[in-house]
Amino acid sequence: MAYDYDLFVIGAGSGGVRASRLAAMTGAKVLVAEEYRAGGTCVVRGCIPKKYMVYASEFGRTFEHMKGYGWKVEGASYDHNMFMDKMHREIDRLSGIYARNLRNAGAELVDDRAEIVDAHTVRLVKAGRTVTADKILVATGGSPAMPKDVEGIELAVTSNEMFHLDKIPEHIVIVGGGYIAVEFAGIMSGLGAKVCMVIRKETVLRGFDEDVRTHVHEELKRKGVKVISSASPVRIEKEGEKFRVHLSNGESAAGDKVLFAVGRDPHTKGLGLDKAGVKLDEHGAVVVDENSRTSVPSIFAIGDVTNRLNLTPVAIREGQAFAQTQFMNRPTSFDHADVPHAVFAQPPVGVVGLSEAEARKKYGVVDIYKTRFRPMKDMLTGDEERVLMKIVVRAEDERVVGVHIVGPDAPEIIQAVAIAVKLGASKADFDRTCALHPSIAEELVTMREKFVPPELKPV
């Protein structure tokens, strides 16, 4: 059967664009449909604008630190509208690059919503027409989750709206303890808002190493963020110009803005996947095999919509592997192990490999090396912020299976460390590496003493 296209891609985010470009460059006829803006969540309302907001929020603290080094800055002020204008101009530029790169590679890009009709047919909603394709790739990403059991939930905003604030709120209530909530707590606090976080667990960042969780939690509180633990929102009501969030523990919190950052859902609703017989899991994510193929042989899915490992570089590598396998005669599957990731908290987090708990569950006996210290830069500022570094080692062969850092430049450091972990470096390899002094990262190769919990130390 002759199809209109060799490949139809739904979604022009990071993963969809990479797959489309590579496929098109082989000579394949490719059509990409994007209903919002090229670039996807990361470029338009995720990683990139969020990090610009982190940068903006850190300057206030920098001005304070400058005093310790003899600098005086008089009359410093923050112009939110100017910053937002410059940030969105850059986002527009990046989105345009994504669209241009797609077309330069030979792919077609249409501004339209696509819905799957069957295994080889897709309907373009705005255009009101259907097209056929030999292969269909779903790369629609995810969207902010909002609970359905909280009365007045329509009064709250999601992370999407945080990138379009016309002013910084005086008080903000942030519901959630994951990385998005933690990042916005730091951003808002750094830009002058009073922040109250409401989390279901005892500490933030569920799923991270316990030492990391505790360290970030304590730093949030030390920087003035109020954290209400073991509580969930029950009702939101408007009180004049403010909003009050009533909680399950009987407490309440009020603010000019209420942000719900309680996770993200795979963006699969209304795509017509059920019509084609594509299997979804209990969370609505597309179920795929190691080659990103769904239960329907001609339909594939990559990125956050599969809910495997929801990171932009992972979506890109999954898209690349798909194109190499299906259009370049180079069978490839992406290895999801030992992928580095960061939380742009303040201080930031960089992690690669297993947490201590995960390593003990997987390998049994592990050795732990960890240290906490004030960075050299803060010795003259008076800031009491601490750096945490932790190495998790498989005892049987001394292989390093996890590295966890909280502190300045942690994401930059962990990217390089991830190479060593991915290559299977041992603790002895770390020890043989000469330190770079003076630096924060040198601690990674100078830790010699195994950590022994106080309860296990001999009396």
Q: Check if the beta carbon of residue 443 is closer than 8 Å to that of residue 423.
A: no
Check whether residue 75 and residue 114 sit in a common domain.
Answer: yes
Tokens at residue 261, please? 């950052």
Check whether residue 107 and residue 193 sit in a common domain.
Answer: no
Tokens at residue 20, please? 């489309």
3-state secondary structure of 315: helix
Banded model confidence at residue 455, pLDDT cuts 50, 70, 90: low
By residue range, what is the domain housing residue 364?
Answer: 341-454
Rounded mean pLDDT, 292-311? 97
Number of domains in the chain: 3
Check whether residue 136 and residue 185 sit in a common domain.
Answer: no
361, β-bridge pairs: none
CB-side exposure of 143: number of CA atoms within 13 Å? 11
Check whether residue 240 and residue 294 sit in a common domain.
Answer: no
Q: End of a domain among 262, 278, 308?
A: 262
Check whether residue 351 and residue 388 sit in a common domain.
Answer: yes
Q: What are phi and psi of 255, to 5 degrees?
A: -165, 170
Q: Classify the phi-psi angles of 221: left when phi > 0, otherwise alpha if psi is within -120 to 50, otherwise beta.
A: alpha
Q: How far apart are CA 187 and CA 233, in angstroms?
A: 22
Kindly state whether residue 139 falls inside one of the protein's structural domains: yes
Task: Say whether pLDDT at 452 is over 90.
Answer: no
Q: How far apart are CA 332 and CA 64, in angstroms?
A: 50
- What tens digit of pLDDT does each residue of 258-281 get? 999 999 999 999 999 999 999 999
Kindly state whether residue 307 falls inside one of the protein's structural domains: yes
Check whether residue 356 and residue 275 sit in a common domain.
Answer: no
Position 453 scores a pLDDT of 78
Banded model confidence at residue 457, pLDDT cuts 50, 70, 90: low
Check whether residue 287 and residue 311 sit in a common domain.
Answer: yes
Q: How far apart are CA 213 and CA 388, in angstroms?
A: 11
Position 327 scores a pLDDT of 98
- What tens digit of pLDDT does each residue of 25-47 get? 999 999 999 999 999 999 999 99
Banded model confidence at residue 318, pLDDT cuts 50, 70, 90: very high
Nearest to 305 by CA among 342, 273, 332, 327: 273
Kindly state whether residue 336 falls inside one of the protein's structural domains: no
Banded model confidence at residue 22, pLDDT cuts 50, 70, 90: very high
What angle separates helix 210-222 from helix 356-363, to the nearest 10 degrees? Answer: 170
Banded model confidence at residue 446, pLDDT cuts 50, 70, 90: very high
Kindly state whether residue 218 falls inside one of the protein's structural domains: yes
- What tens digit of pLDDT does each residue of 389-406 get? 999 999 999 999 999 999
Banded model confidence at residue 459, pLDDT cuts 50, 70, 90: low
Q: Which residues are catalytic?
A: 437
Kindly state whether residue 333 falls inside one of the protein's structural domains: no
Position 456 scores a pLDDT of 62
247, β-bridge pairs: 233
Kindly report the CATH number assigned to the domain that includes residue 301.
3.50.50.60
| Amino acid (one-letter) located at 191 | L
Rounded mean pLDDT, 89-96? 97
Task: Say whether pLDDT at 458 is over 80.
Answer: no
Rounded mean pLDDT, 268-295? 96
Kindly report the CATH number assigned to the domain that includes residue 358.
3.30.390.30
Name the strand (E) or helix (H) holding 197.
strand 194-198
Please indicate whether residue 137 or residue 74 has the higher confidence score (pLDDT). 137
Q: In terms of DSSP bridges, do strands 366-373 and 387-394 run parallel, antiparallel, or are they unpaired?
A: antiparallel
- In the 8-state DSSP scheme, what is residue 153? G
Secondary-structure breakdown of the chain: helix, strand, coil percentages, each rounded to the nearest 5: 35, 25, 40
Give exposure, 118-157, as e/b (b: 16+ Cβ within 10 Å). bbbbbbbeeeeeebbbbbbbbbbbbbbbeeeebebbebbb
Q: How far apart are CA 66 and CA 324, in angstroms?
A: 50
Position 454 scores a pLDDT of 73
Check whether residue 63 and residue 202 sit in a common domain.
Answer: no
Q: What are phi and psi of 228, to 5 degrees?
A: -100, 110
Rounded mean pLDDT, 234-241? 96
Banded model confidence at residue 437, pLDDT cuts 50, 70, 90: very high
Task: Tell the burial category of 193 from Cβ atoms under 10 Å away from its Cβ (0-12, 13-18, 19+).
Answer: buried
3-state secondary structure of 178: coil
Check whether residue 252 and residue 270 sit in a common domain.
Answer: no
* Those residues with Cβ within 8 angstroms of residue 234's Cβ, 6 or more apart along the chain or in another chain: 150, 151, 246, 247, 248
Position 390 scores a pLDDT of 98
Position 75 scores a pLDDT of 87
Q: What are phi and psi of 427, to 5 degrees?
A: -60, -35
Banded model confidence at residue 73, pLDDT cuts 50, 70, 90: confident
Check whether residue 242 and residue 272 sit in a common domain.
Answer: no
Residue holding tokens 């963006």?
267
Q: How far apart are CA 411 and CA 341, in angstroms?
A: 7
Kindly state whether residue 334 falls inside one of the protein's structural domains: no
| pTM: predicted TM-score of the whole model, two decimal places | 0.95
- What tens digit of pLDDT does each residue of 209-226 get? 999 999 999 999 999 999
Q: Omega into 438 within 30° of 0, i.e. cis? A: yes
Q: End of a domain among 262, 294, 316?
A: 262
Q: How far apart are CA 373 and CA 440, in angstroms?
A: 9
Kindly state whether residue 409 falls inside one of the protein's structural domains: yes
Q: Of how many residues is the chain composed?
A: 459
Check whether residue 256 and residue 273 sit in a common domain.
Answer: no
Q: How far apart are CA 179 and CA 262, in angstroms?
A: 10
Nearest to 453 by CA among 214, 211, 218, 219: 211
Q: In terms of DSSP bridges, do strands 264-266 and 142-144 run parallel, antiparallel, or are they unpaired?
A: antiparallel
Q: Check if the beta carbon of residue 134 is closer than 8 Å to that of residue 7.
A: yes
Task: Say whether pLDDT at 309 is over 90.
Answer: yes
Check whether residue 130 and residue 239 sit in a common domain.
Answer: no
Q: Check if the beta carbon of residue 380 is closer than 8 Å to that of residue 71.
A: no
Position 366 scores a pLDDT of 97
110, β-bridge pairs: 33
Kindly state whether residue 332 falls inside one of the protein's structural domains: no
Task: Tell the burial category of 379 from Cβ atoms under 10 Å away from its Cβ (0-12, 13-18, 19+).
Answer: exposed
What is the dihedral sign for C-alpha 134, 103, 143, 354? positive
Three-state secondary structure of 24-61: HHCCCCEEEEECCCCCHHHHHHCHHHHHHHHHHHHHHH
Position 141 scores a pLDDT of 97
- What tens digit of pLDDT does each residue of 349-386 get? 999 999 999 999 999 999 999 999 999 999 999 999 99
Residue holding tokens 């396998």?
325
Task: Say whether pLDDT at 1 is over 80.
Answer: no
